[in-house]
Structure 1
Amino acid sequence: MSPSSVLLRTERLALRRFTAEDAELVVALHGDPEVMRVSCDAWAAGGQGSGPVRP
């Protein structure tokens, strides 16, 4: 990951824009019902979510 592609970096995390190489993972995440339940609930609630995230 080139330093110029990083939008935010902490000790444990580096956020960057999606790239074409991310497509397979994004498709898999969007196909996971549990991921979509949590992310869609949060989006529908204006980012507040509907409760705690459980493993």
Structure 2
Amino acid sequence: MNTIDKRKLSRPNFNDPIPNMKSPSPLPDATIQQKAKTDAVDVLNARTMAILWKE
């Protein structure tokens, strides 16, 4: 019984909020998400242009 309890204590508690998940930047989360979307679109556009350029 003791070994099970120790193992339970050593496992991370996934219900605890992780403090490092919050970004240190002063931008609100919505702005960060929007920038991530914009960056992803830029990458997609660059890939598309590279594919079209090859053909």
The higher-RCO structure (CA 8 Å, 6+ apart) is 1
Greater Rg over alpha carbons, structure:
2
More strand by share: 1
Higher helix fraction: Structure 1 or Structure 2?
2
TM-score by length of 1: 0.28
